Structures are given as structure tokens and as C-alpha cells.
Amino acid sequence: AQSVSQHNHHVILSEAASLELGCNYSYGGTVNLFWYVQYPGQHLQLLLKYFSGDPLVKGIKGFEAEFIKSKFSFNLRKPSVQWSDTAEYFCAVYNFNKFYFGSGTKLNVKP
């Protein structure tokens, strides 16, 4: 079965710092890749997704992610974080009708 690893469990940054959250998956075939965000007290919502094509994908709120097939990775980046980015971030992989989520990364942005 597919597994998804998020190595950073808790990240603390100051406003304006750059962010990179790691995500690695295990299955090497065709996959769809996602990043979701869960703001405190809110539903999970989609940040961005990759199905095919340009491996650098842009999402909402200035987030982007890069798909590197050779490394089975789909890392999330943001050049300059804001206090409002404080949330939990989940990487997810879809294949064979199932979604697999990573354990999540809690991001705390200090004002």
C-alpha cells in the first residue's frame, strides 16, 4: 500500500520567513498529489494539486509545490509566510481510487 511521509511535524517560523514542508510517497507509478490545509477550527481545504505536466504547481495564497519524480517528493513552499498561515498542512496521494494522507505538519507563524 501507498505510504506518505511528512518529516516535519511542527514548524515555527517568524513572519516573512520562507517555508518548505517536505512530503515523500512510496509508490512509484502514476499518482495524483495534493496539499491540503486545515486552519484552526475549520474544514480541510485544497491548497494545490498535481496530476501531470509542469512539475511546479501554484496554488492559493501564494503557495507552490514541486513534484520531483525521481525523489518521490512533492514539497510545499512559500517565499514569505504570514501569521494567517498558521495551520496544519497535509500532503496526500491518490492512486487506485484511494487517498493516502501524511501525518501532517503544524505550522506556527509568530507575528
Partner 1 sequence: NAGVTQTPKFQVLKTGQSMTLQCAQDMNHEYMSWYRQDPGMGLRLIHYSVGAGITDQGEVPNGYNVSRSTTEDFPLRLLSAAPSQTSVYFCASSYSSGESARTQYFGPGTRLLVL
Q: Which residues contact 32 (CB under 8 A, 6 or more apart)?
A: 49, 50, 51, 93, 94, 95
* The one among 46, 56, 60, 68 contacting partner 1 by CB under 8 A: 46
CB of 100 to partner 1, least distance (A): 7
Contacts to partner 1 from residues 77-96, by CB under 8 A: 90, 92, 94
**How far apart are the C-alpha atoms of 23 and 40, rounded to whole Å?**
22
* The one among 49, 66, 73, 86 contacting partner 1 by CB under 8 A: 49
Q: Which residues contact 48 (CB under 8 A, 6 or more apart)?
A: 34, 35, 57, 58, 59, 60, 63, 64, 65, 76
* The one among 14, 30, 45, 84 contacting partner 1 by CB under 8 A: 45
Asked if residue 108 binds partner 1 (CB under 8 A), the reply is no
Q: State the residues that interact with partner 1 by CB under 8 A.
A: 1, 4, 6, 9, 32, 34, 36, 43-46, 49, 90, 92, 94, 97-104
